Amino acid sequence: MSDSTLQDSHGRIIRDLRISITDRCNFRCVYCLPETEEAANFYRRKFQSKGGSEPEPIVLKWQPRSQILSYEEITRLVRIFVGLGVDKIRLTGGEPLLRRGVENLVQGISSMEGIRDLALTTNGFSFPEKAKLLKEAGLGRVSISMDSLDRENFRKLTGRDGLAGVLESIRVARELGMEPVKVNAVVIRGLNDHELEDLARFANREDLSMRFIEFMPLDSKRAWLKELVVSGSEIRKRLVDAFGLSPVESGNASETAKRWAFPDGKGEIGIIAPVTEPFCGHCNRVRLTADGKLRTCLFSLHEPDLKPLLRGGATDAEIEAEIRRVVLGKEPGHRIGKDDYEQPERSMSCIGG
């Protein structure tokens, strides 16, 4: 293993770092923070239909500001990771645009030599007003969450009447040339699976990359049920039958989405199926939480803390050695669907997607 390469014990070389810069969010999506009454009723009906009771929810504890990494600390860690061969950075949350001055962090990261791709995932609520500053600071791409094209269903899924703002965010991102603009939709049976074709049609009409994502067990209410997962194969069959899609070959073995093109060449569909078609064997990413924990898998049960090193006078070499140690123990894969699967203590909003 080269001194400049970050590799785990299974031979996977880490190139992708996802950084949550806040654990707060202004949406209450049913697959992450299902705190609305409508979300509670939906899941309650599902559990009752199975003859069971609702599980104990995760007790959410927002981190105080003093425990959240500063932009300077994040930038220092990114520089160390880049020195280890990481060349793809994605800023996430929570909702990253809730944090002030994100453009300053973007500028600090984008100026580093060796970064090939700098992107951000957002719910789109604040994006239009900040988009130009982010672009000028060096943000290359953006992924925007949009789980429904129906205003009322969007509100039901997210807890916010925010569809118009999301559509505006997509328009602004395209206008600024943040291509390809990716739009993410988590598909949940009984909530938005009836919109698959409409969302795909939207991607085709607007020439966008639409990503359909399987529902994962990372919600704060622990309300995930296997029966609510619309599998990647079901999504694929419906959309191939409806639109005559053809597969897109990818030269990137670590890509999480299986991609499909429309016959007219406009737009694209991506299907991300971590539950039914895991891609753990070629996973090349790790995650940094807003409070400085390093996660080697989205479903990790352990998250070693880098903050004591950052704030305790450790040298870059000492931090690098700890990163190497943690990454070497990266899990071979997640355990979703296995009898011994255990949901992480923190929800998606705290982990960073």
11 within a domain of the structure (yes/no) = no
Percent of the chain with pLDDT over 90: 70
4 within a domain of the structure (yes/no) = no
6 within a domain of the structure (yes/no) = no
Residues 6+ apart with CB under 8 A from 114: 82, 83, 87
Q: Tell me the C-alpha distance between 25 and 111, whole Å.
A: 28
Confidence label for 2 from pLDDT (cuts 50, 70 and 90): very low
Scan for tokens 């880098």, then name that residue: 306
Domain enclosing residue 325, as ranges: 16-351
pLDDT one-digit tens code per residue, 26-63: 998 888 876 666 666 665 655 566 666 665 665 666 78
| Residue 198 and residue 149 in contact, taking contact as beta carbons nearer than 8 Å | yes
State the pLDDT at residue 32: 82
If 0-12 CB within 10 Å is exposed, 13-18 middle and 19+ buried, where does residue 120 land?
A: buried
Q: Give the count of beta carbons closer than 10 Å to the beta carbon of residue 42.
A: 19
Q: Tell me the C-alpha distance between 122 and 102, whole Å.
A: 12
| Residue 164 and residue 173 in contact, taking contact as beta carbons nearer than 8 Å | no
State the pLDDT at residue 338: 67
Region of 107 please: left (phi>0), alpha (psi -120 to 50) or beta.
alpha
- CA nearest to 147, candidates 169, 162, 126: 162
5 within a domain of the structure (yes/no) = no
pLDDT one-digit tens code per residue, 124-183: 999 999 999 999 999 999 999 999 999 999 999 999 999 999 999 999 999 999 988 999
SS3 at position 148: coil
pLDDT, average across residues 61-81: 93
| Residue 91 and residue 132 in contact, taking contact as beta carbons nearer than 8 Å | no
Scan for tokens 């039958």, then name that residue: 241
119 within a domain of the structure (yes/no) = yes
Q: Tell me the C-alpha distance between 301 and 253, whole Å.
A: 26
CATH number at residue 163: 3.20.20.70
- CA nearest to 73, candidates 298, 258, 314, 249: 314
Number of domains composing the chain: 1
339 within a domain of the structure (yes/no) = yes
- CA nearest to 23, candidates 31, 12, 32, 15: 32
| Residue 217 and residue 228 in contact, taking contact as beta carbons nearer than 8 Å | no
Q: Tell me the C-alpha distance between 98 and 76, whole Å.
A: 22
101 within a domain of the structure (yes/no) = yes
DSSP 308-344: HHHHTT--HHHHHHHHHHHHHT--S---TTSTT----
pTM: 0.90
10 within a domain of the structure (yes/no) = no
Scan for tokens 């925007």, then name that residue: 144
Q: Tell me the C-alpha distance between 42 and 36, whole Å.
A: 10
| Residue 17 and residue 78 in contact, taking contact as beta carbons nearer than 8 Å | yes
